[in-house]
Structure formats: C-alpha cells, structure tokens
Amino acid sequence: MPLAPTAYRDLISGRQRGWAAAVLRRALRVAEWPYGLAIRSRNRAYDRGWLTAHGVGIPVISVGNLTVGGTGKTPLIEWLARWFRARDIPVGVVSRGYKARTGSLNDEARELAEKLPGLPHVQQPDRVSAVRELVSRYGCRVALLDDAFQHRRIRRDLELVLLDALEPFGWEHLLPRGMLREPISGLVRADLIGLSRRDAISAEQRTAIRARVQRLAPSAVWLELEHQPQGLRTAAGADHPLERMAGRRVAAFCGIGNPAGFRHTLDSLGCHVAGFRALPDHDAYTAEQVGKLEAWVAGHPDWEAVLCTRKDLVKLDRPSLAGRELFAITIGLGIRVGEEQLESRLEALSASLRSGTEPV
C-alpha cells in the first residue's frame, strides 16, 4: 500500500525513526540504483549527441524542476504567459497532461484556463507534436513547456528550473529513496534557476542554497520567487478578501506535490488551521474521496470553513463541504531577485521574433 505524501516525506527525510523506517530506507536505496542508471544513461545520450533534441520553428521556454512535487511551476507559467500577452505575442502552453481524464484537461491546465481565458494549451506526451499543434492550430509564436526539464527531446531556447526552498535538493537522493528526478549535477543545463517560496526560509539558508547552486551551474541566472496569497475564491468564481478567514477555525486539504508549501501559505492567513489533510498529488477526488472529506469535516462542528488550492477546487467544483463554505486560496507570484535578468532574456527572444530570426 503506497505511503501517504506526508508519511513518505517523513520516511525519506529521516524524520521517521526506528528499525522499520531504516529497513524501508535501505530498500528504497536499492531501488534507487536502477533508476539512477537509467536517467544517467539517458542524459549521457543527449549530452553526447546519440539522442537528438528536435527544433520546432518557434522559441521554446521550458519550466521544470529537479525534484518530484510542486515547486510553483504553474504560477511561473502564468507569469510568463502574461508577459508575452502584454506584448501581443501569441503564446501557448504544452504539458504532458499528467492524470488528465480522456478528452479533458488536468487540474493544472484547468487552473490556467480559469486565470487566462483563451490561452492555448495542448496536453499530450509527444511534446514535439504538441508544439507544432500550437503553431498550426493556434498560430502561437512562443511555446511554454510545463514540467519539461527532464523532457530533452525538444530543443528549448530558455531552460528555467525551480527549486522549492523547503526541500531544494530532494533529500539528496534519486527516486524512490529521495525526491530527485535526476542528479543535482543536471542543474548545469539550466539558463535560469529560481528558488520558490523564498520567504519560507531564512536569509542564511537562501544564501547557502544559492552558493551550492552557483558551484553546480555557475553561468545560470539566479532568481528568488515568492508565492503570496491574494484572496479567496469560490467554485462559482466569487472573490473574497483573505481577512474573511482571520481568527476563524478552519480545515484545509490539498492534493499537490508539496503539501508543506500549502501549509506555509495557510500559516500566513491569520486563521487557526484546526485540521489538515495532504492527499496524493493530482488526486482525482472520486465520490469516495469526497465522501471521506465530508465525513471528516462533519465530525468537527467547530470548524467554520474549508480551504484548499485552486488545483483542488477546479476538480471539486462545489460551494461547500459538509455545510461549511469551501474556498481556494488565490496565489500571486512575485520575483524578488533576478526579475530584470529574466526580462532581459525574454526581450532577446522577443527581438528575434520581430527580426524574423526565430529558432528553427
């Protein structure tokens, strides 16, 4: 039976102690070896030209991460899409469509569609074909690749990699022993490396992470990002101020890659989080799961409201749970360090489009 997200992180981080946890970590360490061999072999094949990255005729910007789990890619994709839209440059998004139901978008794409109506978004595993569809069907001149750092089959013009401040290096191990999708040395491929949720750690910790990253990828531009709560939203699309939660006893849940990031957001709202549940990433919210959540909330009459992320709310699409109002927290992205350098790179891509010298 798979471990719950919080239990899994407690295990691989070493917070869970005892002989049983030690045995499990050792078993996961054994399973890490074949995964590491496969990913290193694949990267070596691309590095040496044995496998080829395909050009698609328009500038491609990849936003990815080194680890499994949420690092704030969706807010950055939104920020980039708004940047190009503000300059009247047709832009679209390509993603794998992880856990999307047949014929529909997954939670991340639905969240983007809600925030940026009309933004073209093609979801399919073959991202080369997906970008070509953006061009032929929607006339896009820039493609944003969501969660694509390890997807090296498509050539990109900017490689952005996000590290979560709360667990930037995946507990120093590859899957399944840790959270790393590939060795940390892979950061050398990045053009820009961003530390998300910078406000969740101290200045000293940020400095230490930055120093390590600069040793690994000395030519990469360094960014620091904050994901700040901006308001509350209902399934009907009504917006409310964050102050509505001040001093209230609430329940909260999420089905995202890094539940600790959402918990950090909750701590800034001034409410009392009386109950919290971390569900599997991209949880489908089946009738059974919703029933369990309702029973959980119903068992605590003193809870006044329920909070979740927008990725959760787009799938639930309901106004309440067990008679308690259900709100998603809306998040805004602030780039606190490196925004000027990022915009300079984007301006260079825009200039290539205006001059007609876009990549081929």
Q: What is the pLDDT along the chain (360 residues), one digit of tens a residue?
A: 567 777 888 899 999 999 999 999 999 999 999 999 999 999 999 999 999 999 999 999 999 999 987 788 999 999 999 999 999 999 999 998 766 555 667 777 888 888 899 999 999 889 999 999 999 999 999 999 999 999 999 999 999 999 999 999 999 999 999 999 999 999 999 999 999 999 999 999 999 999 999 999 999 999 999 988 999 999 999 999 999 999 999 999 998 888 888 998 998 898 999 999 999 888 889 999 999 999 999 999 999 999 999 989 988 989 999 999 999 999 989 999 999 999 999 999 999 887 765 544
Whether the CB-CB separation of 151 and 127 falls below 8 Å is answered with yes
Other C-beta atoms closer than 10 Å to the C-beta of 304 total 17
Whether the CB-CB separation of 220 and 187 falls below 8 Å is answered with yes
* Three-class SS of 88-100: CCCEEEEECCCCC
Whether the CB-CB separation of 190 and 213 falls below 8 Å is answered with no
Return phi, psi of residue 335, to 5°.
-95, 105
